[in-house]
Amino acid sequence: MAVNSLSGKLSAVLVKQTKPKDAVYKLTDGKGLNLEVRPNGSKYWRLSYRYHNKQKTLALGVYPQVTLVNARDKSFEAKQLLDKGIDPAIRRKQQKSVTLDNTFAPISAEWMKTRAKWSKGHADKVRQTITTDALPYLGNMPITDIKTSDVLYVVRKIEARGALDVAARVKQRINSIFRYAIQTGYAEYNPVEALKDVLTTRKVQHRQSIQLDQLPAYLKALDSYQGNSVTRYALQFITMTFVRPGELRSAEWKDIDIDKAIWRIPAEKMKMDEEHIVPLSKQAVDLLKQVKELTSQYDLVFPGSHDHRKPMSENTLTYAIRKRLGFDATAHGFRTTASTILNESGYRVDVIERQLAHGERNKVRAAYNRSQYMAERVEMMQAYSDFLDGVKAGAQVVPINISNK
């Protein structure tokens, strides 16, 4: 962007009455002090100077908060430092590190504010991991005093409780905070970079699902479940809809249209950050009507038992499956079970993947798929619920017959 310059001693009246132009331009007060006027009307004081044969600019503030007299005083102070061989920009950074609270906690909070594009759910999870696992050890330390060994201590504490995935995420987030600190002048080096290969890793374990030969016994056991009624309904609902457990736990009544048999999961609740539609079978609708008698007064369809304002706990469903019902599986595993049955039944892969909310890389194709596959998904979801009813009633576990569908 071109910057024009108008020379001449400034006055308070001239500075006040100066109007913006189509391009940025400068009014010069002399001895390197300039008033930069931008097209939006903003006025910035700048001091141009040379240090070690390099042309530099020092920001002195914004008019009218900083007046002409103030700007001249700041310019004079900067030139006194230059006479002593001190770069005023470097001195400012040094003073900033002394006068501002430059410990890890406020800098991490400042970093969080820069992540405006994150969904609220993701931001809350990031904030929680930092608060729980990093701040107790690093929070009150000046960020310039934090060493690699300090970060390693945090990581090892998390690994010691077996939370290897959490350890990796916390390390990555501390790394991002230090990168931000360097970019904003709080720090000059990143102690996390030396921890590239120190994390303990575990073999990838696929989530366990109900095996097909276990399905009849599981469905019958679920019908006679003696625990919390909301938990039983949640397990029955996730078996029919095979959504991710987090999506089920965060389900709200406002997102469900029982009359139209549609559940619209908002983008901010989805892993791929795009709205997902779940067609509801007749069985799913009937089940929701029963749930509504218990939880319609709350926002959440499946609230927690202790605090109805919060979703049921993350481990509630899997605990019920393993400890109450006695099956070695997880709530997430119903996605695998459904995928296996529907693929073996001959449903189109694209239709199944769309219903599983697996992301489509091509955004144009994704939009097309959402609209074109809906009729097939409605039919498929009803057929799947009918299949589960048949298995529970004693029918053989075989692929769904779609020849007449």
Write down the domain spans for the chain: 4-99, 104-195, 212-392
363 catalytic per annotation:
no
Going by pLDDT thresholds of 50, 70 and 90, the confidence category of residue 54 is confident
Secondary structure element (H or E) that encloses residue 17, with its range: helix 12-17
Region 168-176 average pLDDT: 91
Q: What pLDDT is recorded for position 92?
A: 76
For residue 384, give Cα distances in angstroms to 72, 230, 363: 77, 22, 28
Asked whether residue 168 carries a pLDDT value surpassing 60, the answer given is: yes
Which distant-in-sequence residues (6+ apart) come within 8 Å of 326 by Cβ?
221
- Helix ranges, 207-328 (H): 215-223, 229-241, 245-249, 282-295, 316-319
Of the residues 269, 276, 332, 377, which is catalytic? 332
Taking alpha carbons only, the member of 366, 225, 242, 233 closest to residue 303 is 233
260 catalytic per annotation:
no
Region 249-265 average pLDDT: 95
Secondary structure element (H or E) that encloses residue 363, with its range: helix 363-372
Of the residues 16, 115, 289, 358, which is catalytic? 358
Region 240-265 average pLDDT: 94
- At 360, which amino acid appears? E
- How far is 391 from 55, CA to CA, in rounded Å? 79
Which long-range CB contacts under 8 A does 314-318 form with residues at least 24 apart? 314/245, 314/246, 314/249, 316/231, 316/234, 317/231, 317/234, 317/235, 317/238, 317/245, 317/248, 318/245
- How far is 116 from 371, CA to CA, in rounded Å? 30
- How far is 399 from 384, CA to CA, in rounded Å? 10
Going by pLDDT thresholds of 50, 70 and 90, the confidence category of residue 403 is very low
Q: Which of 61-70, 194-203, 304-313 has the lowest mean pLDDT?
A: 194-203
pTM: 0.52
- How far is 347 from 383, CA to CA, in rounded Å? 11
Going by pLDDT thresholds of 50, 70 and 90, the confidence category of residue 33 is very high
Phi-psi domain of 400 (left: phi exceeds 0; alpha: psi -120 through 50; beta: other) = beta
Q: Is residue 341 a contact partner of residue 402, using CB atoms and an 8 Å limit?
A: no
Q: Which of 12-16, 25-29, 45-49, 87-91 has the lowest mean pLDDT?
A: 87-91
Of the residues 74, 173, 276, 335, which is catalytic? 335
Q: What pLDDT is recorded for position 160?
A: 83
Q: What pLDDT is recorded for position 398?
A: 63
Asked whether residue 51 carries a pLDDT value surpassing 60, the answer given is: yes
271 catalytic per annotation:
yes
Pairing of strands 276-279, 262-265: antiparallel
Best CATH choice for the domain 104-195 from the list 3.40.50.10860, 3.40.50.300, 1.10.260.40, 1.10.150.130: 1.10.150.130
Of the residues 56, 271, 323, 365, which is catalytic? 271
Q: What pLDDT is recorded for position 200?
A: 62
Q: What tokens does 383 get?
A: 């057929």
Going by pLDDT thresholds of 50, 70 and 90, the confidence category of residue 241 is very high
Residue 311 DSSP label: B
335 catalytic per annotation:
yes
Q: Is residue 35 a contact partner of residue 63, using CB atoms and an 8 Å limit?
A: yes
Q: What tokens does 346 get?
A: 């001959």
Q: Identify the CATH class of 4-99.
A: alpha beta
How many of the other CB atoms lie within 10 Å of CB of 252? 17
Asked whether residue 216 carries a pLDDT value surpassing 80, the answer given is: yes
Which long-range CB contacts under 8 A does 60-64 form with residues at least 24 apart? 60/33, 63/15, 63/35, 64/16
Q: Is residue 373 a contact partner of residue 351, using CB atoms and an 8 Å limit?
A: yes
Q: What tokens does 230 get?
A: 């909301």
Q: Is residue 29 a contact partner of residue 45, using CB atoms and an 8 Å limit?
A: no
- How far is 138 from 64, CA to CA, in rounded Å? 40
Which distant-in-sequence residues (6+ apart) come within 8 Å of 68 by Cβ?
10, 11, 12, 15, 29
Is residue 359 classed as helix, strand or coil in its secondary structure? coil
Region 386-403 average pLDDT: 77
**402 or 278: which carries more pLDDT confidence?**
278
Going by pLDDT thresholds of 50, 70 and 90, the confidence category of residue 205 is low
How many percent of the chain have pLDDT more than 90? 45
Q: Output the DSSP codes for 125-192.
A: HHHHHIIIIIHHHHTTSBGGG--HHHHHHHHHHHHHTT-HHHHHHHHHHHHHHHHHHHHTTS-S--GG
Going by pLDDT thresholds of 50, 70 and 90, the confidence category of residue 213 is confident
Of the residues 323, 348, 365, 368, which is catalytic? 368
Q: Identify the CATH class of 212-392.
A: mainly alpha
Of the residues 43, 171, 173, 244, which is catalytic? 244
Taking alpha carbons only, the member of 201, 137, 200 closest to residue 174 is 137
CA angle at 142 for the pair 141 and 145, rounded to the nearest 5°: 90
- How far is 383 from 192, CA to CA, in rounded Å? 52
Secondary structure element (H or E) that encloses residue 385, with its range: helix 374-392
Q: What pLDDT is recorded for position 360?
A: 55
244 catalytic per annotation:
yes
52 catalytic per annotation:
no
Q: Is residue 58 a contact partner of residue 89, using CB atoms and an 8 Å limit?
A: yes
